Amino acid sequence: MGLTVAQKIIKEHLVTGKMRVGEEIGIKVDHTLVQDATGTMAFLQFEAMGIPEVKTGKSLIYVDHNTLQTGFESPDDHVFLQDMASNIGVIYSRPGNGICHQVNLERFAEPGKTLLGADSHTPTVGGLGMLAIGVGGLDVAVAMGGGQFYMTMPKIINVKLTGKLAPWASAKDIVLEVLRILSVKGGLKAVLEYTGDGVKTLSVPERATITNMGAETGATSSIFPSDEITLEFLKAQNREAAWKPLAADDDAIYDQELEINLSELQPLTACPHSPDNVRSVKELEGMEINQVVIGSCTNSSYLDLMKVASILKGKKVHPDVSLVLACGSRQVFQMLADNGSLAEIIKSGARIIECACGPCIGMGQSPKSEGVSLRTINRNFKGRTGTKDAQVYLVSPETAAASAITGIMTDPRSLGETVVVTIPKNFAVDDSMFIFPEFNNKEIRRGPNIKALPLKDELESNLKSEVLLKVGDNITTDHIMPAGAKILPLRSNIPAMAEYVFEPIDPSFAQRAKEKGGGIVLGGENYGQGSSREHAALAPMYLGVKAVIAKSIARIHYDNLVNFGIVPLILVDSSIYDTIAQGDQLAINGIKTAIENGDEVLLVQNLTSGKEFAAKLLLSVRQRSVLSGGGTLNWMKKQNN
Ligand code: MIC
Ligand code: SF4
């Protein structure tokens, strides 16, 4: 039987298990990536494991999230990361060098290899034929130590692309169409693999926009084949040697298929407050806007920004609009400066900010109250910008630039002749913003923001606790553990960070959790979607959250809960959700033994209503032992002993 691209890479990296969809497998990890917001914890965890040096082919830390530096916290963290990286053998990408996924695509990604990254948009490099998976920091720390990565063998969804994009339609519109079809949970437990004639009409940066935002479907990863176009890109990056061809076999079997005719796509937008709330730009044309943000790991490549520059050339940003622009990498920034395009952008009245995540994660540039913001980013979750009542629309760079000029949502097709930008023969290669490890055992500088890693005790024999919070469907990690300029700098300080758990939903949560000695969270569908941040499990664990009971839980968050010893339970009958109220006392007698014994269904008693209901444990044997022992770090210590 033939194999798909993802299956071929998995087969080559398989260490444990059988490649049967739904079963746990362990794979070898070639490269790892963390960024500063997830990296401090990952490095502390790596340190706690007592392994002197990383055992991967290549491991990277990118400083790109916490670059606003509103106090000593982030710069102190950067110094800690730099020292640690040098000692343990990790390449350090300095602040200002760019956003992890864009820089990684340019300088390190390799077709056919595996990458594990502590950031949900790690699959961006799938655009270059790498199997890249976003996970929590602890999973990356384990991989840095040479451990295999355990995952559920994904099903493969064939996304067949036919035709060719019409003028002014963009790669962003392709992935928005995928989201429209699949929704924010349609990619769960799957890899989105792109095939069909349409593939060869797309450049690597365009493919990377698509694989980047595949994360929003909940998919484990997204991947394109590696072909001549991949080779051209690598050549232009002076990395030809990294190329190898990769394609699905003709008789490969897919578990699901969807087809998109690129020629029929028109400019699309994801409306507030979900990336799958997709409509055509045409439908919303004329809507007044206040802000446009161009950048983020989704749309900040040389190709994207050259298109923006040529749309803005000779024009002025509308007086009622603030246009903010960030290049994805210093390479892009420098090339725009060298060829004069940056001058055109500046002349238009755009506000240029540094190459970093910035507004995408609420680090500055929040819109005004009730402001309408058009962004080329990948997530428009409520409040993520820092302004709770802002309305964020996700769009392509073309739609963003066109609208910045007119001051209203504008279909770029109204601009007339389309702009054509091609991949340059040579990108400006300059690796001087990377610091390569010296392995010189230097003293690690630790600022006062870096606090000890909290650990959990073994699982209790019986669970009896209150439902501290009941939430609805599609709760994101931005709701559970928000980011933004105030909270993001606290990533290495769990006690301080824990004060903000669930703040956007219930600001009294942390206080109540502490008073009651912890409790249970009740969730709806797709609980914990969005980011990879393990802080959304770690900080609740610190507050005493013992279990999450939900209709369904997003992949990365599910694994993070297990890693930190919080029991993830899925309601067997989701209508039971309606019968449980916040404040109800729940009990699971013999929970530890049941988990250790491999019970798949647990009986939960609702002591308040007197009812009983069933909840599923979707756990592998390894995960059961992790949960029972109080999380992955405890488990590893036990294994090592
Ligand atoms: C995000 O886009 O939400 C982030 C910030 O990049 C996160 C990582 C984090 O929370 O540190 C992600 O996507 O995983
Ligand atoms: Fe950074 Fe935004 Fe990309 Fe997350 S989604 S890595 S915050 S640019």
Nearest to 132 by CA among 259, 18, 27: 27
Distance 189 CA to ligand 1 centre (A): 20
- Would you call 631 helix, strand, or coil by DSSP? coil
Radius of gyration of the chain (CA): 23
CA-CA distances (angstroms) from residue 146 to 30, 56, 120, 497?
Answer: 9, 6, 21, 30
| Residue 52 predicted with pLDDT over 90 | yes
Which residues does a 6 A CB cutoff place in the pocket of ligand 1? 37-38, 65, 119-121, 134, 361, 483, 531-533
Q: Which atom of ligand 2 is nearest to the CA of 296?
A: 8
Query: How confident is the model over 83-138, as pLDDT tens digits?
Result: 999 999 999 999 999 999 999 999 999 999 999 999 999 999 999 999 999 999 99
Tokens representing 132 are 């890249």
What residue owns the CA closest to ligand 1's atom 12?
531
Q: Which of 480, 532, 535, 560 to mutate to test the pocket of ligand 1 (most atoms within 8 A of CB)?
A: 532
> What is the atom index within ligand 2 of the atom nearest the CA of 361?
7
pLDDT at position 463 over 80? yes
Structure tokens at 181: 């079809």
Nearest atom (ligand 1) to Cα of 35: 11
Q: Is the pLDDT of residue 640 over 80?
A: no
Helices (H), 468-586: 477-480, 484-487, 494-498, 509-516, 535-542, 555-563
Distance from Cα 35 to the centre of ligand 2, integer Å: 10
Question: Given 3-state DSSP classes, what are the helix, strand and coil percentages for the chain, each rounded to the nearest 5?
Answer: 35, 20, 45
pLDDT digits (tens, 9 = 90+) for 114-129: 999 999 999 999 999 9
Q: 82: Cβ below 6 Å to ligand 2?
A: no
Q: Is the pLDDT of residue 641 over 80?
A: no
**What residues are labeled active site?**
64-65, 119, 379, 531, 533
> pLDDT grade, residue 491 (50/70/90)?
very high
Angle between the N-to-C axes of helices 204-213 and 228-236, in degrees from 0 to 180, rounded to the nearest 10 = 100
CATH 3.30.499.10 boundaries in the chain? 5-264, 268-412
- pLDDT of 28: 98
In CATH terms, is domain 268-412 a member of 3.30.499.10? yes
Rounded to an integer, the average pLDDT of 62-85 is 98
Cα 296 to ligand 2 centroid, rounded to whole Å: 6
* Mean pLDDT along residues 209-213: 99
pLDDT recorded at residue 636: 86
Closest atom of ligand 2 to CA, residue 360 = 2
Tell me how far the alpha carbon of residue 261 lies from the centroid of ligand 2, in angstroms. 29
**Rounded CA separation 600/608 (Å):** 25
Give distance in angstroms: CA of 391 to centre of ligand 1: 20
What was the pLDDT predicted at 1? 85
The predicted-structure confidence for 526-554, as pLDDT tens digits, reads as follows: 999 999 999 999 999 999 999 999 999 99
Give the helix/strand (H/E) hosting 82.
helix 73-88
Cα 125 to ligand 2 centroid, rounded to whole Å = 14
Distance 626 CA to ligand 2 centre (A): 30
Q: Whose CA is nearest to atom 1 of ligand 2?
A: 357
**For the whole model, what pTM was predicted?**
0.98
* Closest listed ligand to the CA of 42: 1
Q: Quick one: average pLDDT of 568-585?
A: 98
Among 408, 414, 405, which residue's Cα sits nearest to residue 312?
Answer: 405
Judged against a pLDDT cut of 90, whether residue 637 lies above it is answered with no
Atom number in ligand 2 closest to CA 119 = 6
From 38, 135, 184, 212, the mutation candidate for ligand 1 (largest count of ligand atoms within 8 A of CB) is 38
* pLDDT range class, residue 501, cuts 50, 70, 90: very high
Q: What is the pLDDT of residues 606-623, one digit of tens each?
A: 999 999 999 999 999 999
Query: CA-CA distance, 302 to 237, in Å (whole number)?
Result: 12
Residue owning the nearest CA to atom 1 of ligand 1: 531
The protein residue whose alpha carbon is closest to atom 8 in ligand 1 is 119
Question: Given this model, what pLDDT does residue 255 score?
Answer: 98
Tell how far the Cα of 361 is from the centroid of ligand 2, in angstroms: 6
- Ligand 2 pocket member 360 (CB < 6 A): yes
- Is the minimum distance from the CB of 296 to ligand 2 under 6 angstroms? yes
Q: Is the pLDDT of residue 314 over 90?
A: yes
Which protein residue has the closest C-alpha to ligand 1 atom 13?
531
**Tokens of residue 527, six digits:** 């609980």
Are the CB atoms for 109 and 26 separated by under 8 Å?
no
Domain 463-640 has CATH 3.40.50.620: no
Do 4 and 160 form a contact (C-beta atoms < 8 A)?
no
Is the distance from CB of 216 to CB of 188 less than 8 angstroms?
Answer: no
Ligand 1 mean position, distance from CA 168 (Å): 29
How many other CB atoms are found less than 10 A from the CB of residue 134?
27
Distance 85 CA to ligand 1 centre (A): 21
Nearest C-alpha to atom 7 of ligand 1 is from which residue? 531
Top mutation candidate among 43, 379, 382, 533 for ligand 1, by most atoms within 8 Å of CB: 533
Of 66, 20, 264, nearest in space to 165 by CA: 264
Identify the residue whose C-alpha is closest to ligand 1 atom 5: 361
Atom of ligand 1 nearest to the CA of 556: 14
In this prediction, residue 474 carries a pLDDT of 97
The whole-angstrom separation of Cα 208 and Cα 383 is 26
> Contact, 84 vs 437, CB < 8 A?
no
Residue 38 binned pLDDT confidence (cut-offs 50, 70, 90): very high
For residue 507, name the pLDDT band (cuts at 50, 70, 90): very high
Mean pLDDT, the chain, integer: 97
Beginning with the edge strand found earlier in the chain, give each strand of the sheet holding 114-117 in spatial order.
Answer: 131-134, 114-117, 31-35, 58-62, 91-93, 434-435
CA distances from 576 to 521, 548, 553 (A): 15, 15, 16
Residue matched to tokens 């040579």: 426
How confident is the model at residue 41, as a pLDDT?
A: 97
Q: Whose CA is nearest to atom 2 of ligand 2?
A: 360
What is the pLDDT, as a whole number, of residue 231? 98
Asked whether residue 319 carries a pLDDT value surpassing 90, the answer given is yes
CB of 380 shorter than 6 A to ligand 2: no
Residue in this structure with the two tokens 């209503």, named with its chain if needed? 609
Amino acid letter, residue 547 = A
CATH C-level class of 5-264: alpha beta
Indicate which ligand has the atom closest to the C-alpha of 356: 2
35 CA from centroid of ligand 1 (Å): 9
Q: Name the β-bridge partners of 521.
A: 469, 548
Q: What residue owns the CA closest to ligand 1's atom 2?
A: 531
Does the pLDDT of residue 158 top 90, yes or no?
yes
Q: What is the pLDDT of residues 355-379, one digit of tens each?
A: 999 999 999 999 999 999 999 999 9
Q: Residues 6 or more apart from 336 whose CB is under 8 A from it?
A: 302, 305, 306, 309, 327, 342, 345
Residues of the chain above pLDDT 70, percent: 100
| Per-residue model confidence as pLDDT tens digits over 415-457 | 999 999 999 999 999 999 999 999 989 899 999 999 999 999 9
Task: Tell which one of 63, 64, 120 to mutate to probe ligand 1, the residue whose CB is within 8 A of the most ligand atoms.
Answer: 120
Location of each CATH 3.20.19.10 domain in the chain: 463-640
Side-chain-side CA neighbours of residue 561 (13 Å): 28
Per-residue model confidence (pLDDT) at position 639:
79
Test site for ligand 1: of 40, 41, 64, 65, most ligand atoms within 8 A of the Cβ: 65
> Does residue 521 register a pLDDT over 90?
yes
Question: Which helix or strand (DSSP H or E) is residue 101 part of?
Answer: helix 100-107
| pLDDT, tens digit, 9 for 90 and up, residues 251-262 | 999 999 999 999
- Any alpha helices (H) in 494-631, and if so which ranges? 494-498, 509-516, 535-542, 555-563, 591-597, 621-629
